[in-house]
A and B are shown apart, each in its own frame.
Chain A
Amino acid sequence: MTDADAVTRVLAGEVDVYAVLVERYRQRFGRYALHMLGNREDAEEALQDAFVRGFRALAQCRDRARFGSWLLAILANRCRTLARRRARSRHEELHPEDAVARGGDFGDGLAWREEIRHALGRLEPRQREAFLLHYVDDWSYEEMAQVTGASVSALKMRAKRACDRLRLLLEEAF
């Protein structure tokens, strides 16, 4: 069943078909939310909220074949909102002075993962978003422009700066 078919059936009253779309995008979008927000609890909250909001607003999904892009725009908004809220209430999540276990060599998987998490948290949120969408989730800059509302050139710059900053942070750590 294509996305367009599923959306059409849900809008026609087959609410249960929405589960097909949730299953289809749960893992991929969950990964994006996890890396944007830095912890699993917030990521799943943002993801669940985005899917529910998506259902409520499904009639406004103008290109039903591009449901995934449309839902990602909602999720990106939810992640930004939640990140701002968490930054106020739990400063340690994305704060540069976050105490993270340091050390380990380049091949130490656990330390490496922790350093990446730490480095991602130190990126400016728009840069982190551009990096994750383009490099990790393989979105084209044109698709990202539709989702984020930013220009292609701005997104390329954000992604490049994210790479430069990540490289610097990780070289410092190892």
Chain B
Amino acid sequence: MATDPDPMIRRVVGTLRDAPEVDPDLTGRVMTQIRTAPRSWWLAPRTLWLTPLHLLGVAVGVAVLVTAAWFAGARTGAGTDLPSDGARQVVQFHLVAPDANSVVLVGDFNDWELGATPLRRSGRPGVWTVDVSLAPGLVKYAFVIDGNRWVTDPYAAATISDEFGGSASYLRVGGPS
């Protein structure tokens, strides 16, 4: 238990730990919202609180993301020079992980499902690879080594922290003709 030698701080902590009970109905409300909300909840109308400073930040962020993603197509471990599949494009992902027993690819395209897209050992020592058919646009992804070690693509130009405490790499599939 974290303690502070000051008796007043210890008393404050004791008082704060003795917090009132959270409404027991909260669990029911959460479950109701989960069951009834549309899957595409992020498209639902919501109030945005923006100041001119926020707008400037958003503009800079978008510019950085688009620029980084543009370069990512050329420099990342994910190469897009394979044959395209109609509007989709086959992307080859690589990761150098000589000590790994397994490597999987997770991302928006496979709902971050650990078992969906395993990489295979390539002909080069320590290099793992997989080909994935992806729709054009920005793709967020990461590699998982041995089932529990998440790593970003060291060659991706864009790697961004997400609000869930991790990081992901970005790749731009397709581009202006």
Q: Which residues of A contact B (CB under 8 A)?
A: 15-16, 18-19, 22-23, 26-27, 30-31, 34-35, 40, 43-44, 47-48, 51-52, 55-57, 59-63, 69-70, 73-74, 77, 84-85, 88, 112-113, 116, 120, 132, 134-136, 138-139, 146-147, 149, 163, 166-167, 170-171
Q: Nearest chain-B residue to A23 (Cβ)?
A: B27
Q: Which residues of A contact B21 (CB under 8 A)?
A: 27
Q: Check A135/B15 contact, CB under 8 A, given A61-B164, A62-B166.
A: no
List the count of A-B residue pairs having beta carbons below 8 Å apart: 112
**Would you call B99 an interface residue if the criterion is a C-beta within 8 Å of the partner chain's C-beta atoms?**
no
Contacts of A77 in B (CB 8 A): 163
Cβ < 8 Å to A, chain B residues 90-104 = none
A146 and B165 within 8 A (CB)? yes
Residues on the A chain within 8 Å of B155, using CB: none
Of the residues B3, B22, B162, B164, contact of A47 by C-beta under 8 Å = B22
CB nearest to B164 among chain A residues: A60
Bound complex: CA A88 to CA B177 (Å):
46
* Residue with the highest number of chain A CB atoms closer than 10 Å, among B20, B34, B150: B34
| Binary CB contact string for chain B from 28 to 45 against chain A (1 if under 8 A, 0 otherwise) | 011101110100010000
Chain B 137-155 interface residues, beta-carbon cutoff 8 Å to A: 144, 148, 150
Are B1's CB and A167's CB within 8 A? no
Assuming A27-B22, A48-B33, what are 16 further A-B pairs, CB within 8 angstroms?
A23-B27, A30-B26, A31-B17, A31-B22, A34-B19, A34-B20, A34-B22, A44-B22, A60-B112, A61-B164, A88-B49, A132-B16, A134-B2, A138-B1, A166-B12, A167-B8
Cross-interface CB contact of B30 among A48, A73, A163, A167, cutoff 8 Å: A48
User: Which of B6, B17, B20, B161 has a CB less than 8 Å from the CB of A136?
Assistant: B17
Asked whether, in the complex, the Cβ of B15 is within 8 Å of the Cβ of A170, the reply is: no
In the complex, what distance in Å separates the CA atom of A61 from the CA atom of B165? 9
Q: A26-B26, A31-B17, A60-B166 are in contact. Are A167 and B161 (CB under 8 A)?
A: no
Closest Cβ–Cβ distance, residue B151 to chain A (whole Å): 11
Q: Closest residue of chain A to B166, judged by CB?
A: A62
Residue of B nearest to A147 (CB): B165
Q: How far is the CA of A170 from the CA of B4 in the complex (A)?
A: 15
Please indicate the chain B residues that have their CB under 8 angstroms from the CB of A166 in the complex.
Answer: 8-9, 12
Residue of B16, B17, B33, B150 with most chain A CB atoms under a 10 A cut-off: B16
Does B13 belong to the interface (CB within 8 Å)?
yes
B16 contacts A136, C-beta separation under 8 Å: yes
User: Is the beta-carbon distance between B26 and A135 smaller than 8 angstroms?
Assistant: no
A163 touches B166 (CB 8 A): no
Taking a contact as CB atoms under 8 Å apart, the answer to whether B165 and A22 are in contact is no
**Contact across chains for A73 and B165 when beta carbons are under 8 A apart:** yes
CB pair B164 A52 closer than 8 Å: no
Q: Report chain A residues within 8 Å CB of B2.
A: 134-135, 138-139
Chain B residues whose CB sits within 8 angstroms of the CB of A31 once the complex forms: 16-17, 19, 22
With a cutoff of 8 Å between Cβ atoms, the chain B residues found around residue A61 in the complex are 164
Partner among B3, B16, B20, B35 whose Cβ is within 8 Å of the Cβ of A116? B16
Q: Is B85 an interface residue (CB 8 A)?
A: no
